[in-house]
Each structure stands twice: as C-alpha cells, then as structure tokens.
Amino acid sequence: MMKAIVITLALLVSASQTAAQSLPAGFAYLRDIDPSIIQDIRYAGANNFMGRPLAGYGTAECVVKREVGLALKTIQQELARQRLSLKMFDCYRPARASHDMVLWAQNGRETAAERRYNPAFRKQELFRLGHIAEHSQHSTGAALDLTLVDLAADNSARFDPAKAYADCTAPVEARSPEGSVDMGTGYDCSDAKAHTAASQITPAQRKWRNLLVASMSKQGFVNYSKEWWHFSLPRAGGQAYDFPIPRRN
C-alpha cells in the first residue's frame, strides 16, 4: 500500500513538473530551434533599467512563436558567414512584466543606476514618449530585442553591478559592457540617440545598425524607429499572453 502511494505521488510530481515546463501551442524555446544564437535575457536578472528580475521571468530563456524562431535561424545562418551572431536581449514577455514596468515607473523613486538608461528625462515620462508600452508586442511572442555580436572580437567584458558606469549614450568604453558590436548606445537606452535613424552616431555605428535592420528585414521583421534593437514579425502576431517563462527541460 505504501509503495503504491509513493509511486502515485512520484507520478503526480512528474506530471506537475511537466505541466510547469510546457509552453502554449505555437511557442518554442529559441535554444531548441537554434542553439548558436547568443542569449542575454536581461529582464531575468539585475542588469536592466529596473535593477532586478521582472515579474514572470522564471528563467533566462528566449521564448518565441515557432515561426519567429525559424526566421531567426535563417538570419543567423546568413550572419554566420560573416562571423557574426544575433544576441537576444528579450523575446516573449509576460503581460505581468509590462505591468511591473508601469508600477516601477510610477513609484516616485529614481536611482543613479536607473538614470543611466534615461539620462535626458525622468522615468515617469517613458510611457508618454513611447519608450515603454503598457501593452507590449513582446507578449504576443512575435517581438524581439536583439543586437549583433562580432565573433572575432573580444567579448569577454562582463557587467559589474557594483561599478558606476556612464549613461547609455556615452562612448562604448565608458558605458555598461554588453559583449556586442557598438550600436552607438546601450540596450534599452531611452534617448533620441537610440532612434534607429539617429544622426548623432558614427559611420561605423550606422553600418552596424543598417546591417541589423537589413538582415532582419529580409525575413519580414519590422524595426521600431525609436529603438534600434526592437523588431517584430507582424504575420506572427496575435493575442497577448501572460504565462510565466518556465525552465527548459
């Protein structure tokens, strides 16, 4: 009798774990589609404008609509011939994470570390100026934040939470390291310099932005003009989801 109870409990635990790790139909872990694409899911840790993991990010994994993942795989294969790689900063975002951003923006506090991401204005202005959305395309699984990595370069520098970096518009040597090419600003930089077509960047930075946009456009991705890193695949959009990002088996 005791043995039967133990077996039953084990099966229940196993079933519970499987359910917790499953994704809705049509979604997939990008790592299962193309493990060569580099991932640095910033909202799953402390290296982001809020300084902590956001609600719903149970693990640092890029989850996307399968169609999106397959398109990224094609882009990655083309970039590999130039010794380049995509690097993912954010993929599917639970709706609760966007709400977490709303609460953060309205909490009446602003630290020096937070100001690095929006040096020209207060964080209460982020929504009005279109840098953060209360309802994000990311929650459909069809929007992404990403950059390029030069695989021939030294990408060993790592973020140090104890270091006082310059703001996100500063020269690449002074701002927080991201292990990627220099796009002219850091990721999630809420500033006019982060607009994809900004004029205040160097020819080399312009070249990298143009290459990223061109590579993504070939597979139907559309860039958001105020963020050089943000792309969406309109044909893969749809309803917003709020399931937490589960650990991958």
**What CATH number does residue 39 fall under?**
3.30.1380.10
Position 124 confidence tier, pLDDT thresholds 50, 70, 90: confident
Q: Could you give the CA distance from residue 160 to residue 177 in angstroms, rounded to a whole number?
A: 9
Q: For 1-23, write each residue's pLDDT tens digit.
A: 434 433 333 333 333 333 345 89
User: Residue 129: which domain range?
Assistant: 22-236
- Residue 85 makes CB contacts below 8 A (sequence gap 6+) with 36, 37, 38, 76, 79, 148, 149, 151
- Identify whether 51 is part of a domain: yes
pTM (two decimals): 0.90
Q: For 154-207, write each residue's pLDDT tens digit.
A: 999 999 999 999 999 999 999 999 999 999 999 999 999 999 999 999 999 999
- Identify whether 2 is part of a domain: no
The structural domain count of the chain equals: 1
Q: For 205-214, write each residue's pLDDT tens digit.
A: 999 999 999 9
- Identify whether 241 is part of a domain: no
- DSSP-based three-state secondary structure for 158: coil
Q: What is the mean pLDDT of the chain?
A: 91
Task: Report strand pairing: 38-39 vs 143-150.
Answer: unpaired
- Identify whether 45 is part of a domain: yes
- Identify whether 108 is part of a domain: yes
pLDDT of the residue at 21: 58
- Identify whether 230 is part of a domain: yes
Distance of alpha carbon 19 from the chain centroid? 25
- Identify whether 54 is part of a domain: yes
Q: What is the mean pLDDT of residues 25-41?
A: 98
Q: Cα–Cα distances in Å, from 114 out to 43, 55, 111?
A: 14, 18, 5
- Identify whether 148 is part of a domain: yes
Please answer whether residues 227 and 191 qualify as being in contact, where contact means their C-beta atoms are separated by less than 8 angstroms: no
